[in-house]
Amino acid sequence: MKTFTLTRAGDSAQAIATAAKASTAQQGAEIRFIGGGTTLIDLMKLNVEQPKTVIDINRLPLDKIESLPDGGLTIGAVVRNSDLAYHPLVRKNYAVLSEAILSGASAQLRNMATTAGNLLQRTRCMYFRATDMPCNKREPGSGCAAITGVNRSLAILGTSEHCIATNPSDMNVAMAALEATIHVRGAKGERSIPIADFHLLPGNTPQRETVLEPGDLITHVTLPPPPPGSRSLYLKLRDRASYEFALASAAVVITVADAKIARARIALGGVGTKPWRSTEAEGELTGQPATQAVFQKAADAALRGAKPESENGFKVELAKRCLVHALKLATQPA
């Protein structure tokens, strides 16, 4: 690990002013905020991340979960994953979020990992993590070893000829289906970013993973109130029964009324370069009866743009079956 200076942020303004001096924002930047450290310290040990300054934001007052007047929820940036997953309001109104978080990592890691940190979780692509291999995300212009290499676990949606790295987070997939909003305070003031616009596709610049600018500090995330009569769930398929990243996963928030699907929000994990919201699948579901045939059409629509590589072609069918089964579970009589 390279040496760095460790400072503790006294207040948000000070943290933002310091981080604004960096040439890039957060991921891979020379000035980094640290929350739980479960991704950052791991990557610093591998020399994948080499920040010169690390700012500890854990003592900032960003650790509350509170209900909003409209019935929604606000979640502080440094709220731990375990506190979020076990919160009574989350379990009651946002089951998909609780299930997604509890399906990821281990109890120890969930006690450390934060909401904001999870939004910025970096890929598990083995070429990104190995500094002796080419990787456009880690070292722009060096090439992508994964496209012609070991790519079984990598993405089939949203890829580019420069990067096929999967976004590894489960929480992000649930947040995408819940249409979360990410609130950021930066050098130029405050702004709110819908989660669909927060993560970037790799394109020609896979090193840039989010719309954050230097100095931007995620302060909290808000969730809209749960749609009346809706049900939500998260289904995750993987090589091991526990403590493993998704090969394919589905987050579903669905309302069935008068034997028709009135509203559906669908997001997929383990298959996309970003948390993969599928408005195509939602379009196939809305106004239709909750039947296997309709679910299948939605799944086909969600994976229509899939571009598999040499080893991850199985994910196309796996993701479809994952979504079909998740929809079946979410719409069967209670």
Partner 1 sequence: MPDEDASNEKHDRENRLVFGQSTRRTFLSRLGMAGLLTSAGPVTTAFAQRSVKEPLPSPISKDAVPVTLTVNGKKHDLRIDPRTTLLDCLREHLHLTGSKKGCDHGQCGACTVHINGRRVNSCLCFAAMHEGEEITTLEGIGQPENLHPVQAAFVACDAYQCGYCTSGQIMSAVALLKEPCGPEDADVKELMSGNICRCGAYPNIVAAIQSVRQNAKTQKAG
Q: CA-CA distance, 254 to 231, in Å (whole number)?
A: 5
Rule CB under 8 A: choose which of 4, 12, 126, 196 binds partner 1.
4
Restricting to residues 76-95, which ones interact with partner 1 according to CB under 8 A? 82, 86
Number of residues that bind partner 1 (CB under 8 A): 28
* Residues 12-51 as b or e (16 or more Cβ within 10 Å = b): beebbebbbebeebbbbbbbbbbbbbbbbeebbeeebbbb
Q: Which stretch binds partner 1 (CB under 8 A): 160-168, 187-195, 236-244, 319-327?
A: 236-244
Q: CA-CA distance, 59 to 9, in Å (whole number)?
A: 7
Rule CB under 8 A: choose which of 30, 56, 139, 300 binds partner 1.
56
For residue 136, the 8-state DSSP code is: T
Rule CB under 8 A: choose which of 26, 38, 160, 210 binds partner 1.
38
Structure tokens at 40: 């950052």
Other beta carbons less than 10 A from residue 321's beta carbon: 15
Restricting to residues 110-129, which ones interact with partner 1 according to CB under 8 A? 111-112
> What are the residues facing 218 on neighbouring strands?
184
Q: Is 45 in the site for partner 1 (CB under 8 A)?
A: yes
Rule CB under 8 A: choose which of 47, 67, 106, 204 binds partner 1.
106
**Smallest distance from the beta carbon of 18 to partner 1, in angstroms?**
16
Rule CB under 8 A: choose which of 9, 22, 29, 34 binds partner 1.
34
Q: CA-CA distance, 303 to 137, in Å (whole number)?
A: 24
Rule CB under 8 A: choose which of 108, 192, 279, 292 binds partner 1.
108
Q: Are 170 and 103 in contact (CB under 8 A)?
A: yes
Q: CA-CA distance, 216 to 12, in Å (whole number)?
A: 10
**Smallest distance from the beta carbon of 101 to partner 1, in angstroms?**
13
Binding site for partner 1 (CB under 8 A): 1, 3-6, 8, 34, 36-38, 41-42, 45, 54, 56, 58, 82, 86, 105-109, 111-112, 241-243
